[in-house]
Structure 1
Amino acid sequence: MSETPWLTIIGLGEDGLKGLGPASRTALEAAEIVMAPPRHLALVGDLSCETRAWPAPFAEGIDTLLSLRGNRVVVLASGDPFWFGAGATLARHLEREEWCSFPGPSSFSLAANLMGWSLERTVCLGLHAAPLTRLRPHLAPDVKIIALLRDGEAVRELSAYLSDAGFGASALTVLEALGGPRERVTNLRADAVATESFEHPLCVAVDVAGGGPALPLASGRPDGWFETDGQITKQPVRAMTLSALAPRPFEHLWDIGGGSGSIGIEWLLTHPTLEATSFEPNPERAARIAANAARLGVDRLKVVTGAAPDALAGQNEPQVVFIGGGLTGELLHWLEGKLAKGTRLVANAVTLETEALVLEAQHRLGGTLIRLDVSRSEPLGPKRGWKASYPIVQWSVSL
């Protein structure tokens, strides 16, 4: 391998060659092959080297690119390739010394400057290849969002989504071809019917307004946010459970006995780097878990239909495990034998049988036991009294 990277990734703006810096121009002039989507090739015009159009979907072009090793290759991408762009995807297939990158201004930076918004206080989302439901955790009055969208029709879909969520009063600024000769800015309300047609590339700046319900930031969201058949870790216990699970960046959770998926979903809502797999033997409940996760903006939750421990085999290893139902001696023995040392385990026991199992396991493996007793006030004749829920014994341990 030569010391000079064979691949250069260049972030291209809508002004084409005019926006390139000296290093980008030098790399482009030295290229033997330039590979890019047709729109990017049109922005740079005729080149002296060979050009290849990147196919759609994007993944189909990766093998072609890798086959070009040994040539000086330039890949053209939009704006900053490592912010909701192609850069990170390409880097996963290459050694670090094989590539270099020269970013251009991102759509987020251009949009924030146009809007006068503080970028560090603005939610930036790439929704050009992701569902609009990823907006849901961020929808609250006065929140500012810049979202990349795939095409003009997605603007209408965004308007409908915000209106249905109760945020139809939000101000939308549709920003087309930022930084180039075709730049256009259109202002409208989310609940207004857009008569204009919009063209890719575009993003939308959203100044959220309206009386729709906002998803709380704290763990232990109200139970009403989750569709359920009654199999759910209730709000107070869920808050205590998330505290015991103690999520840290980049960790992966196994939620065994997913029920409605509330634990796995709230785990993912804690931080965007977290991952989770929910295991649920009941197919109807498994489908409900996936629907809850998608609706609340964490469609990255992986749902496995099957019973533990058999369903656990071959899955990506977790750093944290939660057992909300179905704890057995067989399952605990499997976890002890298969999981890496230091894996954190939290188990909630409701029945006397599982409580006995937890007590024995804690005596053998250590960890912390707490008992959660929750009561709610309810009518009692003409007055009110306390109605107790089933007590829960919670065991937390590092295996």
Structure 2
Amino acid sequence: MRRDPPPGGSDVTQPWLTVIGCLPSGALAPGAPRDALQAEAVFGPERLLVAAGIDDARRRPWPRPFADGVAALLDRRGRATTVLASGDPLLHGIAATLLRDLAPDEMTIHPAPSAFSLAAAALRWPLDGVTQISLHTAPPRDILSSAVPGRRILALTRDGTAPKAIATALAGAGYGESPVAILEALGGPEEAVVRTTAADLAADAAGPDAHPLNVFAVECRGGPSPVRVDDLEHDGCVTRDEIRLLTIAALGIPHGGTHSGHLWDIGAGSGAVAIDWCRAGGTATLFERHPGRIAAIRANLAATRTVAAVREGDAHAAIAGATPPTHVFMGGAVADDALFAALWDALPAGGVFVTNAVTLAGEAATIARHATFGGTITRIALSHSAPIGGLMALKPAMPVLQWRAVK
């Protein structure tokens, strides 16, 4: 065990930079040293510098581009300097940025309540059940990477126009009925909460913009429908729509919270199973070795705004170092006993394993595993209408032997 000395102790570099979190009113973080406001140079947003009473000679408002201000601050290395920041400087804030260039021992940090904490308190949302993202520099549509039915999201925004743009993205993706709150100027005298729905906010093009300091909150309802094979890039190696829905049901539909399960999709083909899994609230890693299919997977992930990891090459090697799974789906290489053994070993107790076999070798392996590990086997046989001469008939598709087991 090692006990580190406090910042500024004899065993570390003497801190020269003090980063202080503030409320919009200018109130400093609890325990922040007020004498730090007397530094020769105090950097921060103009509004906080004014609220804190920093005189013009020592005031260093952040310029545009912001990187120029960071460079000016770093030029003062070794001289007493203070930075005022909104909320928690380590949460999508300036302290996190500066730590890319400075050693931790060069600064002291005094966090105030973050915008997320203030927003959650105003909404009475327990933070451990809320997804927290920053759209300060990201496009508004990036909220769709986190949006799943039942999920609560708090998003930092860039300005007063952002809430409408975010709501437009949500409404366009099927989340129009979702309750939305715009939390403005939290912790300051202009604090306000505006409640509406994503659809109504998106439709209010002529309405006023929000306060430039705002947090966007949404409780996702509705959402996109499952993907359809016809909308995906694929070479024929794809789990068909009906089979895919039954596969997701066998895996167990994620509940949409912040901890909904991580899927390994082995032999991912087009990525369809993983995409639907993520749309339902889970996370996924896709494994594929064929270059053409890898390209299709990446295109389909981008087209559906799905964020998932892709591992290329032979799955035996690719699983090393991947995010551990809670669920495994083998849509390819079902007959590979060595691969199955590695995947089964990686699955924790209580994890769910599902395979879909269409070949005789795959079916034989499935039956053998059922005898060893238990679980359930289901035969899925579908037929679709197709023309025969001048008439219509039902044409059978290749049957699928599905195995589901809980470790």
- What TM-score bracket applies, with the shorter chain setting the length? 0.5 to 0.7
Question: Are 1:302 and 2:314 an aligned pair?
Answer: no
Q: For residue 112 of structure 2, what is the aligned residue in structure 1?
A: 103
Question: How far has the Cα of 1:152 moved from its partner?
Answer: 3.9
Question: Are 1:241 and 2:251 an aligned pair?
Answer: yes
Distance 1:107 1:317 in 2: 27
After superposition, residues 271-290 of structure 1 pair within 5 angstroms as: 275-282=283-290, 285-290=293-298
Question: How far has the Cα of 1:21 moved from its partner?
Answer: 4.8
Describe the shift of the 1:355–1:243 C-alpha distance in structure 2 as closer, same or farther (beyond 3 A): farther
Matched pairs, number: 370
Q: For residue 376 of structure 2, what is the aligned residue in structure 1?
A: 370
1:28 to 36, 61, 76: 36
Cα distance per residue 1:93-138 (max 9 Å; x no partner):
9889x8654323626635863xxx4334987653334553534775
Question: How far has the Cα of 1:23 moved from its partner?
Answer: 0.9
SS of equivalent residue, structure 2 residue 24: coil
* Kept after mapping to 2: 8 A contact 1:14/1:180: yes
* Kept after mapping to 1: 8 A contact 2:177/2:222: no
SS of equivalent residue, structure 2 residue 20: strand
SS of equivalent residue, structure 2 residue 376: strand
Question: How far has the Cα of 1:78 moved from its partner?
Answer: 2.2
Question: Are 1:332 and 2:339 an aligned pair?
Answer: yes
Describe the shift of the 1:27–1:129 C-alpha distance in structure 2 as closer, same or farther (beyond 3 A): farther
After superposition, residues 1-399 of structure 1 pair within 5 angstroms as: 2-4=5-7, 6=15, 10-16=20-26, 19-26=27-34, 28-29=36-37, 36=44, 44=52, 46=54, 76-81=84-89, 101-104=110-113, 106=115, 109-110=118-119, 113=122, 117-120=123-126, 125-130=133-138, 131-135=140-144, 146-165=154-173, 174=182, 176-180=184-188, 189-194=201-206, 196=208, 200-204=212-216, 214-215=222-223, 222=226, 224=228, 227-228=231-232, 229=234, 231-232=238-239, 234-242=244-252, 249=259, 253-268=263-278, 275-282=283-290, 285-290=293-298, 293=301, 298-299=306-307, 301-304=308-311, 306-309=312-315, 312=318, 315-316=321-322, 318-319=324-325, 321-327=328-334, 329=336, 332=339, 335=342, 346-358=354-366, 366-374=372-380, 390-394=399-403, 396=405
SS of equivalent residue, structure 1 residue 392: strand
Distance 1:171 1:342 in 2: 37
Distance 2:325 2:186 in 1: 42
Distance 1:110 1:317 in 2: 31
Describe the shift of the 1:329–1:13 C-alpha distance in structure 2 as closer, same or farther (beyond 3 A): same
* Kept after mapping to 2: 8 A contact 1:358/1:395: no
Describe the shift of the 1:26–1:347 C-alpha distance in structure 2 as closer, same or farther (beyond 3 A): farther
Q: Which one-letter code corresponds to 2:377 in the other structure?
A: R
Cα distance per residue 1:42-90 (max 9 Å; x no partner):
65453798979699778x969x88x96x887765432245666567788
Distance 2:285 2:83 in 1: 35
Residues 235-244 or 162-171, more deviating: 162-171
Describe the shift of the 1:26–1:204 C-alpha distance in structure 2 as closer, same or farther (beyond 3 A): same
* Kept after mapping to 2: 8 A contact 1:126/1:149: yes
Describe the shift of the 1:215–1:170 C-alpha distance in structure 2 as closer, same or farther (beyond 3 A): closer
Distance 2:262 2:152 in 1: 29
* Kept after mapping to 1: 8 A contact 2:88/2:114: yes
SS of equivalent residue, structure 1 residue 20: coil
Distance 2:90 2:339 in 1: 42
Query: When the two structures are superposed, what TM-score results if normalisation uses the length of structure 1?
Result: 0.63
Distance 2:258 2:163 in 1: 35
Question: How far has the Cα of 1:235 moved from its partner?
Answer: 0.6
* Kept after mapping to 2: 8 A contact 1:110/1:179: no
Distance 1:250 1:170 in 2: 20
Distance 1:35 1:355 in 2: 67
Query: When the two structures are superposed, what TM-score results if normalisation uses the length of structure 2?
Result: 0.62
Q: Which one-letter code corresponds to 2:113 in the other structure?
A: G
Percent identity (aligned)? 29
SS of equivalent residue, structure 1 residue 332: helix
Unaligned runs of 5+ in 2: 9-14, 387-392
Distance 1:202 1:303 in 2: 34
Describe the shift of the 1:237–1:107 C-alpha distance in structure 2 as closer, same or farther (beyond 3 A): closer
* Kept after mapping to 2: 8 A contact 1:350/1:393: no
Distance 1:15 1:225 in 2: 53
* Kept after mapping to 1: 8 A contact 2:250/2:354: no
SS of equivalent residue, structure 1 residue 240: helix
Q: Which one-letter code corresponds to 2:204 in the other structure?
A: A
SS of equivalent residue, structure 2 residue 85: strand
* Kept after mapping to 2: 8 A contact 1:257/1:281: yes
* Kept after mapping to 2: 8 A contact 1:112/1:118: yes
RMSD between aligned residues: 5.7
